Structure 1
């Protein structure tokens, strides 16, 4: 599996360096830690800082969502690994304006531990109030009655967007976190894997799958899914993903939703739009309206093949957050 890299051990640092060079009008790299990036664009109404983070390899997640209307800063980890507490703390200190900081990250053991340690240090050493919201949108990773054990996958994008908007609205920390938790509670995702990716350090496939197979519920680090079988048509795959989401969070006629069809890194947009076409047909047949739609690579897994479908049920407040304009290096919404 070919890679355009120099030394495999330097890929994260060199990626960050190139990213900051390319988007120098948007981003700054903190001198205290090279894995700590903050935005140059903020809303004057914002009181609460918003910090996101996670492993590399998911680009445009997570660096691409630092900017006006979304996050104030990001802590960057190794490929598919949590950032350490140090860059998280440095970003926290940089973006705090005295009203607290919201930490947003996926529900993975390393992230829970490291963001938790950084939050404790921020409180004890810097007197900064930190609150945490975890992405738990992956319906394949745990049953509904154990939702708190679920992984965060592409639905984290909706949590970032809702929380960033709430901060721009001038909400205090309690209300910013209320919106973050609501967005997570009303978001469900389900994915399918077609081909593996490979880490630069190993060059080996992240999992094994036959040329004529697909895996339903595959995690975006290559975690095992819930079912492996023969590759089916785009319509059948879309039907299965939507079916599993609606079985977990039933929707009724008249409901409004935001929909994301997310590529995992190597799936062409042609195929993603074919999947989206069937998703919209299925929801319309049930009387469910798509208020906003997003199609493309939003949270990837290096060059993994496949996609995920995310549906967030909207109320009036979440519709306002979805509509809020955003100006980030890798995501702009007017």
Structure 2
């Protein structure tokens, strides 16, 4: 296995040091280097904290900054951050309005964020949104039901904009919970992910196979099927995604095509073009779009499609200015 690293055990700390050095205008390390936070914390707003294992970059550390997260806690590769990291982030970033924890629905993440919130409950007002945007994983044992995957970016962007606009903790929590029913994601992989510690792929596919419904930790999906054309793959994915979304009259669609780390941009844009055309044939309106490599699984060759049904209020939150290492638009 060839990777640009020194040792597997120092990969995460050295990578985080590089991110902070490259984006020092935006971020800095928190106490004892336990987390990455906004360089300029803003008093009087609810603090948004997320995190998870390394290997998903730029999520979550790349989304720390104005209009998104106030802090992100990173564990080792595909390993949840520890409660003490999360506690330190809460204590350092809470400006008096409380903290909202945005947690992907994986057992380790849920458990450790819950332990941290219980530990500081007497000192800080805490609310938690557990993101469950994955389509039905078909009996996966890696999570409590639907996993939190690429749709987590959408949740963090919308809640980050709302927090920046002065929404209260209870309002942010309510919006986060409502989004869980209006965002769905499905992934597909053409090659398993190679984990630095083991130097082995998490699963091996034949030349004519693909894995449908994969998660972002390299775990197998709901089915191993024959490889197909892009049009056919997208049709299969959209059928699963749209089958789980209930349309409301005033909602429009946000479509997010996300690369897993080993997929060229040209293929991501091809998939967006196909997915948009298929949705429009169904009479659906794609009002906003995002295409790129944002929620990765190290070097996995694959991608995910996220569809979110958003009302005008949420579209405005999506359009609101954001200034982070990985996402940046507006004033």
Instruction: Please state which band the TM-score falls in when normalised by the shorter chain.
Output: over 0.9
Quote the Cα distance in structure 1 between the aligned partners of 2:40 and 2:230: 40
- Deviation of the 1:148 alpha carbon: 6.7
The corresponding residue for 1:218 is 214
Q: How many residues of Structure 1 are paired with residues of Structure 2 in the alignment? A: 327
- Deviation of the 1:183 alpha carbon: 2.1
TM-score, normalised via structure 2 length = 0.95
The corresponding residue for 2:83 is 85
Quote the Cα distance in structure 1 between the aligned partners of 2:248 and 2:96: 42
Quote the Cα distance in structure 1 between the aligned partners of 2:213 and 2:191: 13
The corresponding residue for 1:19 is 19
Pairing of 1:32-181 with structure 2 (within 5 A): 32=32, 34-41=33-40, 47-124=45-122, 127-142=123-138, 149-181=145-177
- Deviation of the 1:31 alpha carbon: 3.2
Quote the Cα distance in structure 1 between the aligned partners of 2:69 and 2:31: 19
Q: What is the CA deviation profile of residues 24-49 of structure 1, one whole-angstrom value per residue up to 9, with x for unaligned ones?
A: 111111233x23111024567x5200
TM-aligned CA distance change 1:253 to 1:102, over 3 Å: closer
1:289 aligns with 2:285: yes
Quote the Cα distance in structure 2 between the aligned partners of 1:308 and 1:43: 34
Q: What SS does structure 2 have at the residue aligned with 1:98? A: coil
Mind listing any 5+ residue stretches in structure 1 that lack a counterpart?
none
- Deviation of the 1:250 alpha carbon: 4.1
Mind listing any 5+ residue stretches in structure 2 that lack a counterpart?
none
Quote the Cα distance in structure 2 between the aligned partners of 1:282 and 1:41: 43
RMSD, aligned α-carbons: 1.7
TM-score, normalised via structure 1 length = 0.94
The corresponding residue for 2:203 is 207
Deviates more, 1:50-59 or 1:202-211: 202-211
Question: Does the 8 Å CA contact 2:67/2:320 hold for their aligned counterparts?
Answer: yes
Deviating above 6 A after TM superposition, structure 1's stretches of 4 or more consecutive aligned residues are none
Pairing of 1:173-322 with structure 2 (within 5 A): 173-251=169-247, 255-322=251-318
Q: What SS does structure 1 have at the residue aligned with 2:150? A: coil
Q: What is the CA deviation profile of residues 156-175 of structure 1, one whole-angstrom value per residue up to 9, with x for unaligned ones?
A: 00010111011011011000
